[in-house]
Structure formats: C-alpha cells, structure tokens
Structure 1
Amino acid sequence: MLVGPAKALFMDEISTGLDSSTTSQIVRFMRQMVHIMDVTMIISLLQPAPETYDLFDDIILLSEGKIVYQGPHENVLEFFEYLGFKCPERKGIADFLQEVTSQKDREQYWFKLDEPYRYISVPEFVDYFNNYHIGQKLSDELHFPYDQSKAHPAALVKEKYGISRWELFKAWFAREWLLMKRNSFLYIFKTTQITIMSLIAMTVFFRTEMKHGRIEDGRKYYGALFFSLINVMFNGMAELAMTVLRLPVFYKQRDFLFYPAWAFGLPIWILRIPLSLMESGIWIILTYYTIGFAPAASRFFCQLLAFFSIHQMALSLFRFIAAIGRTQVVASSLGTFTLLLVFVLGGFIIAKDDIEPWMIWGYYVSPMMYGQNPIAINEFLDKRWSAPNLDPRIPEPTVGRFLDYRYWICVAALFGFSLLFNLCFIVALTFLNPLGDSKSVIVDDKTTAEL
C-alpha cells in the first residue's frame, strides 16, 4: 500500500498486536514519509504511548461520533485548559484526552477551584471548539475555495495514470521483455519440443514413401498437413497456463491503477510475433522438403505464412480463454472444450457435407477450417497434382475448381481471428474481476480445531 500511487492513506488501529516500541518505529517511518514525500495520512489510534503521540503533527479527537478537537497536537492542552480541564504533569496526554471526554472521569481534571464544576456535554465541546481560535481558523479556511494556482502541479490528479500512453507502452514493453528473458527456459523448451516433433513428422512422412498423383497419395499428404496443423496449434496452448499464472498480480496492479489492461496485453501480443515466426519457421524448414511437399519456392513461403498465421491465432485464442477462465481449472476446461469444438467442426474429422445443417455455422466460424484450407490449397494447387478431366459428362477441364485467391482469404481470416481474440483478451482484462477473493487466508491449529 505504501509503495502504490496513493497520496492519501487512511489507517485504522495499526497498533493492534504490536508493542509500543514497534508502533513508535512504524509511526516514525510514516512521519518521515509524510514530510519527505508530501503524503497525507490519517491514522486512528486508541490511547497511544506518549512517544507515539508526539510524532503526529495534528490530531483529531472524536467523542460520540463528533469532532471535539482538530488541530496541532501542541495546542490541545491549551484548548481544554480554556474550558477548565488541566492534564496532570505525570499523566500521558493520550490518556488524558481519552478520559476528559468521558462523563465519569472528567470531573477529576477540573482545575478552576474558584468556580464550581459544571458538566459539559459533547455538543457543547464542539461549540466551544468552533468558537476557539483554532476552530475559527479552520472554519475560515473551509469557507473559501482553495486557489488551485498555488498548488503543486502534481498535487491534483488530472489523468487516470501518472504517465502518457506512449510511456506506459514503453515501460511495459521493457517489463515484458525482461520477463521473457527470465522465463527463457520455457521458450527454449517449447522450441525444443516443436523441433523434436518436426523430426518425428519428417521420419513418419518421409519423402521416399510419399508418392503423388493419385487420390490415395493426396490423402497421405493431407494427413501430413493435418498433423503439422495440430502440432502448431497445440504448441500455443502453453500460453494459457502462462497467462493464468500472471493474472492475480495483474488484477492487483490494475485495481491500484498501475496501468490499463491494454498496456499489459499489447506488449505480450507484439513480443510473441518473433517467437511465433521462429517456431513456425523451424517446423517448415525441417519438414517441408523432407516430407516432399510442392517443390516451388513460392509455395514454401506461402506455407510458412499460413503456419505463422495459424500459430498467431492459436496464441491469441488461448490467451483469451485464460482471461475468461481466470483460474487454472476453469481455463483448462474451457481450452479443452474449445479445442474439441474447433477440431470437430474444422472439416477434417467430420467432413463439411456430413455436418448437420443447423450446425454448419460452426464450420464457417471454426478457426481450424481457415487453418487447414490454406495449407491444403497451397499444396494441391501445385502442377504435379493437376490431372485432366477425362469424364465427358463434365464440360470443364477439371472435375472441380478451387482458385488461389481462397488461400489469401483464409490467411486474412486467420489474422482477423488473431486480432479479434487479442482485442477480446484486452476487453476481458479490463472488465472482468478475479474469481473469488484474492486475499490469502491463514488457518492456524486453533481455528482448525474449532472447525
């Protein structure tokens, strides 16, 4: 709390469970913080020790819900002497203030022996204070609005955050880069994992066993493409667990107005782009020509672009699911269920023509469909898969037609999904709160026995 952006702190009974020496040390530190950093603090204490009381600049004395005195602590005895009550020399000032406002203990402090003691109620104390010179000065200050031109430029907050949007972005970009370097083992492990899986893929679908030209051969190539698609998508699932682990700290910092949600989400999105390109490149470089896909260089780079867009979509999807789930159990369940829907409705496990008409919309909104179509188009529109139509019943040069522009439509759709999921991720971070109470609860043996 003390290192946050708050310039006014209100504390209640901070001495509970502390001895007088510890309380005095804490209050002394807070006094230095107030004087050096120009912070305002209001601390409620019940009968503090004399050394603690002397550390305060001003005091507010409350009785029966009313302010009996508010002003410098060195003038409080003067005010009560003005009313006829005097603190004994050996009496602590805090104890005196506690008892002088009490109906039972007040009479013993009456020192005007030439006048009979008269009971003074709390409302009368308030009236006397308002007529006292300190109370009148306070009232005069409140009657006139403060001249803002005399205030320090940083005294009044004019913006929600302390720095500009560009400075926020640069600060949290540097922060995210630092966190990535600290978690470098995880990214090295992910890169090693996809490298090993690509080596397995190139040995399972080795080019010497991959013929081409027939429908049966096309099925094997389609299986290799689908296997590649699954590995690239599942490689992005690690983003879900990483995001969920960071959410508790994010929610606390967001609620304390350290930064907005976009400053947290945008650097993550940008810094994952090189990693996504590297992991997609490793997969394509190790598997493309060893499996025996279309040999043209243009198709090599088109497949790299397709896998890069698929990986970006998968990362943003799992980040969004993590922001929606907010806990490891809920997010993992949502992620598994989403993958199930995406795979079933993608058009490979269940063909498009076999999907029920009332569920066909799921096919068109499934990112999986937009992922497998461009890699299939890129491969099977190569010249080596071209075969003339020998059926005279079909007046076309080929049995079917699938044009190149659909590749670019699918790639654009994947980047659109990535943009949509990242925007939804930022919106979820902005408006959703953590599930349950984020405060930790310590249960001791006594509480356990009572339960």
Structure 2
Amino acid sequence: RIIYTGPVEDVVAHFEGLGYEIPKRMDPADWLQALPTEDGANFLVQPDEEVSLPAPTHLTHEQFVQKYNESKRALEIIDVLNTPALEEEQSKIKGNFTFTRKYMNSKLRSLKLLIDRETLLWWRNKYQLKARLFQDILMGVIVGTLFWQVGADAQTNVNAIVGVLFQTLFFVSLGAMMKIGDQISTRGVFYKQQDANFFPTWSFILGRSIAAIPTAIIDALSFGTIIYWFVGLAYDDGADVSNYFVFLLICLFSAYTFGLMFAVLSGAIRDKPTAQGAMAVATVIMILFSGFTVQPDVIPDYWIWVYWCNLFAWLLRGLMVNEFQSGKYDDESSNNPDNTVGEDILKQLGFSLGG
C-alpha cells in the first residue's frame, strides 16, 4: 500500500498539505517513518486557541493511501497506466529475452573485484591492523624475554626450545580463531549478493582467501622475528640464516592455513556461539594430538591416525626439524655414535626419522 511516490523534494510538502508539520530539528526520513504510526499524531498542526475549530485527527494508513490516490500526481500516474501502450513498446515488452550469462562479469574480473574489495576493507580497518600488530609485538616480547637466549645453550635447554616452538604455533592458531566473528558477520552480505548473481561462490572464497595473506604475513614477520632472535634459535654454529627464513615460512603457512581452516568451520556452522565452541574443540584436539602434549610414540595405535592427520602436528614437526637438524646439532651423540645430537633429541621426543 503506497502512501507516496514521487520526487523527493515534494514529499514533505505533500504531507504538510495533509495537516502535518515537520519539527525544525528532525530529520525528514525519521519524520516520514513516524507519520503512518501512532506517533504521527504528534506532528499534526494544532489550530490557534482563538479560532474555534475542531482538533485535527490523525489519519489511518488507509486514509493516507486514499489521500495520495486523490492527489494530482497519483491521478497523472493512473492516467498514464491506463493509456494503451504503443505497438513498438508492446513488442519490446512481449519480446523474448534470452540470458546467455548468469553473471555479468567474467570469472577473472569477478575474482579481481573481490580481491580488491576484501583488500580495501582490510586496509581501511586501521584500528584492527594496529591492534593486531601491537598484539604480535607484545606477545613476541613477552615470550621472547621469558625464554631469553635459551638457544645459546640449546643442548641443555631442549625442553624450553620445544616449548617456544609449540607456543609459536599456539599463538598463531589463537589469532586465526579470533577472526571467526568477522567471518560470520559477512555471511549475510555474501548470501544477498550471491542471490543477486553478483559473482560465483568460488570467486568469493578464493578472493577472500587471497586477501587474508597480508594478515598472515604481519603475524609471521612481527611475532616470528621477535621470537627467533630473542630466543636465539639456530642461526650459527653450523646453522645459517636460511633456518630463520624457513621458520618464518612455517609461521606464515601456519597463520594462513589455520585462518582458512577456521573459515571453513565458520561457513558451515549456523551461529557464532556454536562456531566458537567448535573452534575450541578443534583447537583442543589439535593440541592434544600435536606431539607436544603427548609424544607421538606414546599415542595408542587406535588414535595415531589423528596425529598423522593433524595439521598442527605437521607444522610443529617442521619447526623441530628446522631447529634440530639445522647443523647446529650435528655433533656426534654420546648415547648413539650413529646419530647426531639433533637426531637423538628428535628420537627422544618421540619423532621417528627416515620412516
């Protein structure tokens, strides 16, 4: 039921002609929304007390519709609608339209537009960027000073080094889990645009995934760099600076893949509380079967498959191999002359080598 349609500049005058007045400090949009409701009676123009006129009554919704239908503009519209259309216009209306494409843009253009949009949204949120960078630096300094230069005497501080490597992955995974709220809140926008055939689903997923790379790079560079040099992980005594870059690469891969994994769960689960609960359960399982909480050689055979399917376990294993097989631990083991110190440490931690 339409109570007005026409130029925006004439809408206030139309309702003022019906006996209503807009307050000086009120927005026209709010005023128009309130008019058809019971609150609209507050905007009626009251007659002067000296003039003995009856008090005006607030129009009902049906009366608003009737008043508009009786207006000059409505009568003009009705007259146009009742005028027979020209044959040329009828042929256009009755013509057979064939849609050859579901989406207006090509696949590559859709992907580019989505990458640009997601990257722009990421860059505009300066507060979140600064907060994330501050969090990475703060936690890096705390963990780094807590394990300050334990790598200088690595062979006697093996447990501390393993703890640092585990803490690095754990912090990165928690950072990825914190993004679940934003991902769920954007689903409404995606559903609306998908129903309108703005873009194919795969381009939205791929574009959003690519746009998440800068955040992963920030986490890896800021947090990973502080941890590596504060703790004194392998870079000399047989190791070299390439171990540092491998460490950063694993941190980058961890931040990125954990974000994608939690994004899949956030897309599959209906609401935010349930999604957060699922994330917590997934994180606990990854930590429990990471090889840190329980050594791999102690995990029962009927649960060992969880360890081998665990992304967290593979990443932790990669960090340990990068550290203990870096060349810094290539001295002959006192327990087994056939092994190096690094190989001996990995075996003591329950990690098998060479199959």
Equivalences for 1:170-319 in 2 at 5 Å?
Answer: 170-207=112-149, 211-214=153-156, 217-295=157-235, 296-319=240-263
How far did 1:57 drift?
Answer: 7.4
Relative to structure 1, is the Cα distance of residues 159 and 219 closer, same or farther in structure 2, using a 3 angstrom cutoff?
A: same
Contact 1:194 1:231 in 2 (8 A): no
How far did 1:236 drift?
Answer: 1.6
User: Is residue 338 from structure 1 mapped to residue 282 from structure 2 by the alignment?
Assistant: yes
One-letter identity of the residue aligned with 1:318:
F
Query: Which is greater in Rg?
Result: 1
Relative to structure 1, is the Cα distance of residues 308 and 209 closer, same or farther in structure 2, using a 3 angstrom cutoff?
A: closer
User: Is residue 325 from structure 1 mapped to residue 265 from structure 2 by the alignment?
Assistant: no
User: Is residue 385 from structure 1 mapped to residue 329 from structure 2 by the alignment?
Assistant: yes
How high is the TM-score relative to the length of structure 2?
0.70
Q: Secondary structure at the residue paired with 1:383?
A: coil
Equivalences for 1:29-428 in 2 at 5 Å?
Answer: 49=69, 51=72, 52=74, 54-56=76-78, 73-74=82-83, 146=95, 156-207=98-149, 211-214=153-156, 217-295=157-235, 296-390=240-334, 396-398=338-340
The CA distance in 2 between the partners of 1:53 and 1:352, in whole Å, is: 82
**Structure 1: runs of 5 or more not aligned:** 1-13, 30-45, 60-72, 77-133, 149-154, 405-451
The CA distance in 1 between the partners of 2:168 and 2:6, in whole Å, is: 66
**Structure 2: runs of 5 or more not aligned:** 12-64, 347-355
Relative to structure 1, is the Cα distance of residues 282 and 24 closer, same or farther in structure 2, using a 3 angstrom cutoff?
A: closer
The CA distance in 2 between the partners of 1:360 and 1:209, in whole Å, is: 31
The CA distance in 2 between the partners of 1:210 and 1:338, in whole Å, is: 35
Equivalences for 1:7-22 in 2 at 5 Å?
Answer: 14-15=1-2, 18=3, 22=4
Contact 1:277 1:308 in 2 (8 A): yes
Residue 16 of structure 2 is matched in structure 1 by: none
How far did 1:281 drift?
Answer: 1.3
One-letter identity of the residue aligned with 2:127:
F
> Between the two proteins, what is the percent identity of the paired residues?
22
How far did 1:370 drift?
Answer: 1.0
How far did 1:395 drift?
Answer: 8.0
Q: Deviations over 1:119-177 (max 9, x none)?
A: xxxxxxxxxxxxxxx9xx9xx98xxx95x6xxxxxx54211111212222222222212
How far did 1:293 drift?
Answer: 0.7
One-letter identity of the residue aligned with 1:211:
D
Q: Secondary structure at the residue paired with 2:127?
A: helix
Contact 2:247 2:322 in 1 (8 A): yes
How far did 1:53 drift?
Answer: 5.4
Contact 1:347 1:369 in 2 (8 A): yes
CA RMSD of aligned residues (A): 3.3
The CA distance in 1 between the partners of 2:274 and 2:107, in whole Å, is: 33
One-letter identity of the residue aligned with 1:259:
F
How high is the TM-score relative to the length of structure 1?
0.56
How far did 1:347 drift?
Answer: 1.4
The CA distance in 1 between the partners of 2:321 and 2:150, in whole Å, is: 23
How far did 1:282 drift?
Answer: 1.4
Contact 2:329 2:340 in 1 (8 A): no
Aligned residues: 281
How far did 1:75 drift?
Answer: 6.2
